[in-house]
Amino acid sequence: MKRILFIAPASFPVTGAENIVNIKLLQALSKSGDFEIDLVSKKSKWENYPSESISTYAVNLESLNVVEVDNRINVRTCVGHLLAFFYFGVTFKGAHWAVKALPVVKKLFSQNKYDYVLTKDSPSLLLGYYLRKKKGLKWVATWNDPYPESKYPKPYGKGWQCRNSFSDSRLIKMMKNWVDIHIFPSNRIQTYMNHYLCLSSDKMIVVPHVVLDQKQTLSTPSCDILKIIHSGNLKYPRNPLLLIKSLDLFMKEHPGFKMEVTFMGVLDDEMYDLIIQYGLTDIIKIISPVPYKDSLLLLSQYHLAIVIEASCEEGIFLPTKVSDFMQCHKHIWAISPKIGVLNDLYNSGKIAYYSDNADFDSVYKELCRVCEDFRAGILDRSVSLVENYTEKYVVDKLYIIPYKHYQ
């Protein structure tokens, strides 16, 4: 049995993609019976949250510590940012939450003996740094996205080669010198961040987003209509234009084919206009986002789930939706950079369909293949879980931490 201090500002309440990743990991760890967990999370004043308890997500904790913070600019938050510099040697937007959470973390540390502290998203690294430097607690840090944020690849950020600000230099030094084990969700983001972290291999480990073991079979309301869904933000730099054009051409060439494509989320205004311009309002449905649990139920109504990524030189991200779609045993079509994580998953047989998001012919040909497979009944078959995304795999990896020199 291991006792861990789990510091994840974006975890509970569950409000977004990062929260979903973290709450699923908490569920897998607590369900295993191998971990005792104290969670420290964040709640912002003046924001509305779902009225639900942590038990709604089948998460069993030793303690839940939700630290509320005011994100408006006022005297108190300005003082909080100054104190962050005093306590941690660096400050940045949002760092004042770590100041408010510090007394909670100190109290938990004084009351319990932990195997390690696990930090998940900014500014949790400030607290991990404090516990490692001041208290000697082993520190395991997870980087689901490049950090600092300026290091995001273009067009999201400036790229890993960009010149470091004072704050970035301090944060990178903190990450290099004080973290015992760094966790990344993919090999590509590990390699990307290691361009500037310069870590030895025994300090890094790849652990994908966990896929919970749900006994769920694929079902659709109508076997004569191909139903496809994309869930999540489709605003710039993500772009569904090639998919919209491919749907237009396909329906012109196959006017009797029955298909429904749902975009659940927000699109740029010009995409709404294009859907009307191409006469696809009967094919493409746009619906508002729904709570996470409802979204999983909604997925059962579709044959195929699409992931559309931004055009990057290299796709280093492992989108949260990939593990959600796997969890619901759905066939996945990735429209993403030709060099990237999702193409790797396709080439290794972990997802069934792939298109280069910069190539119209690639998108159109894959749409045709999807439709052919639907006619052949292939999309009616449930998809098996990928072994290294399963609860057992992820839990085992986190259990052997912080020991080094493992495979």
pTM of the shown model: 0.93
Give the CA radius of gyration of the chain: 22
Q: Look at residues 331, 246, 256, 328 and name the one whose alpha carbon lies nearest to residue 295.
A: 328
**Apex CA 330: angle with CA 262 and CA 187, to 5°?**
105
In angstroms, the CA 94 to CA 98 distance is: 8
Look at residue 373 in the predicted model and tell me its pLDDT: 95
Look at residue 407 in the predicted model and tell me its pLDDT: 35
Look at residue 296 in the predicted model and tell me its pLDDT: 86
In angstroms, the CA 65 to CA 171 distance is: 25
Contact 148/171 with Cβ under 8 angstroms?
yes
Contact residues for 366 (Cβ-Cβ < 8 A; gap 6+): 333, 353, 354, 355
In angstroms, the CA 171 to CA 94 distance is: 14
Look at residue 219 in the predicted model and tell me its pLDDT: 55
- Total residue length of the chain: 407
In angstroms, the CA 242 to CA 359 distance is: 8
Angle between helices 391-400 and 17-32 (to 10 degrees): 80
In angstroms, the CA 239 to CA 308 distance is: 7
In degrees and rounded to multiples of 5, residue 42 shows phi and psi of: -120, 145
Look at residue 214 in the predicted model and tell me its pLDDT: 74
Look at residue 222 in the predicted model and tell me its pLDDT: 61
In degrees and rounded to multiples of 5, residue 315 shows phi and psi of: -85, 100
> CB-hemisphere CA count at 13 Å for 44?
14
Look at residue 217 in the predicted model and tell me its pLDDT: 47
Task: Give the residues of the chain that fall short of pLDDT 50.
Answer: 217-218, 404-407
Look at residue 72 in the predicted model and tell me its pLDDT: 85
Lookup result for tokens 């030793």: 62
Angle between helices 320-327 and 17-32 (to 10 degrees): 50
Do the bridges between strand 63-69 and strand 116-119 make them parallel or antiparallel, or are there none, so unpaired?
A: unpaired
